[in-house]
Amino acid sequence: MQTLLIATWNRHKTREIGQMLGAGWDVRDLASLPHAPKVEETGATFEENATLKALTISRIFTGLVLADDSGLEVDALSGAPGVHSARFAGPNASDAENRFLLIGKLRSFGGNEFPARFRCVMVLASRGELLGSFTGIIHGSIILEERGESGFGYDSVFVPAGYAETFGELQSEIKNSLSHRGRALAKVVEFFRS
């Protein structure tokens, strides 16, 4: 069984990646690495942040390390919240506070749906060496009412293109097959196969 350390403390993200990889993988996160440093996301892009995390953690973990940075880009907000998606409403903001701020900002434009995309960049590293960078994007819209209990982050206000349901309403298998993270991870899996 191959071990893959996800460079995150976010259990939701670890579980989601584990579900997408399926059997044959021992997927762990930073909770399994007792002295893992907290890597500050100081990059200006998703790729810079993911690379910083992957390389930093791969210097202290002997196996494969996968780091990602992902977020929501809303056209009406010139691509915001972007790399600040997790802390849009402040450094310690909850998902609910981030959604509340997003909806509030979008209400000022009028309308009910706003073109947006989720972008995920995954970076694979081992022993301080960069092995690859993989991007996944899902287009859709932000709506102004929260719907659905599944998922996390902005899932309850994001409707993927071609669907009527939000990510928060879709079954996890469907969401994972469509999601930006799923698309980036499919490229990682393809890299392993080649």
Q: Which residues are catalytic?
A: 69
Give the side-chain half-sphere CA count within 13 A for 151.
25
Which regions of 52-177 does DSSP assign to beta strands (E)? 64-74, 113-126, 129-143, 158-160
Give dist(CA 93, CA 166) in Å, integer.
22
Rg, Å, the chain Cα set: 16
Token code pair at residue 152: 């996390």
